[in-house]
């Protein structure tokens, strides 16, 4: 360089011996000099430096701040935080999962791997310096990994030429369908149902001409494990008749898993359908039921029901009104699979990494749960 003067800063090693020692200063034309050797142009000077016993560093770094998690998958999550400060200098960060030390890193980010799907974890970070002083822990961040992909069994009527489901009503679901496919996916339509609450479903058959005897069944995947065969998940059924419409009442179990799950509605000619069969005549439709906390149902209706999403459709960032700084979210596709989860940041979530399409956003805020639909462009 041609800069003049030049200066630099260094720290004497804590393990250096307290004695007089040599300091060499070297300047070489057009290159960095080595400690020993001759060169064409420049100069070398030696000095004496007296190393003395210093005061032991007993001051710990400040705690790291603003620990956050992002990009959570079924088996990993990305952690990042704001750097700590120290009177001498921070040399690294200890990353903890609960009380288990995962790793020590020198940067302000870390990817925790080897996690289990659909499992809650707590992470924190501590700073350390060269003297071995360790800071207090950062704020903790709670992460729930994504659930394993759920694929529900197929079921359909092989023909809807003579009869099909004309209308399904339950809660805020009021769906008149005109499609002729033996299976219809209406999981973009949802309604809230509180634990321990009584609910009524009404099904209206549609006949092309002659009236036929139809049987009905409705299932809800209360534990969200991807099957309808667990005890209590057949919530209502009716033997074959020509009655129209038909209605049934059922109670959501107090132990039902909170959040969005699948409801299957099936109508079969001349018999009661099972959850995973293909039958000759009739139709099957799937919907989304959002299970909410019984104790908070009224409060939820007064608070989270006011949540609005914008912009909708959205491209990279989706914003929500009326959510607190503690609100968390989970995004489901129309197959009921979790594709994204995490915590709101200033009322916003990053949706840039999910594909275009229709999604269901489940919002949990102070024990209240609600769902909203949005479109990713």
In tens, the pLDDT along 42-69 reads: 999 999 999 887 777 889 999 999 999 8
* pLDDT-wise least confident of 10-19, 45-54, 121-130: 10-19
pLDDT at 86 over 90: yes
Classify residue 10: in a domain, yes or no. Answer: no
* Confidence at residue 294, expressed as pLDDT on a 0 to 100 scale: 64
Q: Span 144-152, mean pLDDT?
A: 77
With CA atoms as reference, report the closest residue to 317 among 345, 288, 357: 345
Question: Are residue 178 and residue 288 in the same domain, yes or no?
Answer: yes
* Confidence at residue 157, expressed as pLDDT on a 0 to 100 scale: 97
Question: Are residue 265 and residue 344 in the same domain, yes or no?
Answer: no
User: What's the pTM value of the predicted model, to 2 decimals?
Assistant: 0.52
Q: Which structure tokens are listed for 91? A: 């040399």
Question: Are residue 132 and residue 202 in the same domain, yes or no?
Answer: no
Domain termination residue (choose one: 144, 168, 202): 144
Classify residue 88: in a domain, yes or no. Answer: yes
Domain termination residue (choose one: 275, 292, 309): 292
| Reported confidence tier of residue 213, pLDDT bands at 50, 70, 90 | very high
Q: Span 359-363, mean pLDDT?
A: 86
Classify residue 357: in a domain, yes or no. Answer: yes
Q: Which residue has the higher pLDDT, 308 or 155?
A: 155
* Per-chain mean pLDDT for the chain: 89
Classify residue 39: in a domain, yes or no. Answer: no
| Reported confidence tier of residue 335, pLDDT bands at 50, 70, 90 | low
Classify residue 309: in a domain, yes or no. Answer: yes
Question: Are residue 216 and residue 330 in the same domain, yes or no?
Answer: no
CB 125 within 8 A of CB 94: yes
Q: What percent of the chain has pLDDT over 70?
A: 94
| Reported confidence tier of residue 297, pLDDT bands at 50, 70, 90 | very low
Classify residue 239: in a domain, yes or no. Answer: yes
Domain termination residue (choose one: 241, 275, 292): 292
Question: Are residue 285 and residue 313 in the same domain, yes or no?
Answer: no
CATH, residue 321:
2.60.40.1930
Classify residue 26: in a domain, yes or no. Answer: no
* Confidence at residue 57, expressed as pLDDT on a 0 to 100 scale: 83
Classify residue 315: in a domain, yes or no. Answer: yes
CB 126 within 8 A of CB 134: yes
pLDDT at 149 over 80: no
Query: Which residues form the domain of 328?
Result: 301-376
pLDDT at 23 over 50: yes
Question: Are residue 160 and residue 199 in the same domain, yes or no?
Answer: yes
Give the list of residues 6+ apart from residue 287 with CB closer than 8 angstroms, or none: 168, 170, 173, 175, 186, 187, 189, 190, 191, 262, 263, 264, 265
pLDDT at 200 over 90: yes
Q: What is the DSSP letter of 35?
A: S
pLDDT at 298 over 50: no
């Amino acid at each position: 360089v041609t800069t003049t003067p030049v200066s630099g800063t260094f720290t004497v090693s804590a393990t250096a011996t307290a004695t007089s020692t040599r300091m060499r200063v070297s300047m070489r034309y057009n290159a960095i000099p080595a400690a020993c050797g001759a060169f064409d142009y420049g100069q070398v000077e030696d000095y004496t430096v007296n190393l003395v016993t210093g005061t032991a560093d007993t001051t710990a770094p400040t705690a790291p701040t603003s620990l956050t998690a992002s990009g959570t998958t079924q088996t990993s999550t990305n952690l990042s935080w704001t750097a700590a400060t120290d009177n001498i200098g921070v040399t690294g960060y200890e990353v903890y999962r609960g009380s288990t030390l995962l790793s020590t890193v020198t940067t302000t980010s870390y990817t925790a791997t080897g996690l289990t799907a659909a499992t809650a974890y707590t992470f924190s970070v501590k700073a350390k310096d060269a003297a071995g002083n360790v800071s207090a822990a950062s704020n903790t961040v709670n992460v729930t990994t994504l659930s394993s992909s759920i694929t529900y069994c197929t079921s359909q009527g092989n023909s809807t030429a003579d009869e099909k489901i004309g209308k399904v009503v339950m809660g805020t679901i009021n769906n008149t369908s005109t499609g002729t496919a033996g299976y219809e996916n209406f999981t973009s339509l949802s309604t809230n149902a509180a634990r321990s609450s009584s609910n009524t479903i009404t099904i209206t058959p549609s006949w092309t001409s002659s009236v036929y005897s139809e049987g009905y069944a409705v299932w809800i995947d209360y534990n969200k494990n991807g099957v309808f065969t667990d005890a209590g998940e057949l919530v209502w059924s009716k033997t074959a008749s020509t009655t129209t419409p038909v209605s049934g009442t059922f109670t959501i179990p107090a132990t039902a898993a909170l959040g969005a799950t699948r409801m299957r509605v099936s109508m079969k000619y001349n018999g009661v359908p099972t959850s995973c069969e293909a039958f000759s005549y009739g139709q099957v439709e799937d919907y989304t039921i959002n299970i909410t906390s019984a104790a908070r149902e009224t409060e939820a209706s007064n608070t989270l029901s006011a949540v609005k999403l914008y912009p909708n459709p959205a491209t990279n960032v989706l914003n929500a009104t009326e959510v607190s700084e503690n609100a968390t979210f989970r995004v489901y596709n129309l197959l009921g699979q979790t594709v994204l989860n995490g915590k709101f940041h200033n009322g916003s979530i990053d949706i840039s990494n999910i594909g275009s399409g229709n999604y269901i956003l489940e919002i949990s805020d102070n024990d209240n749960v609600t769902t909203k639909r949005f479109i990713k462009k």
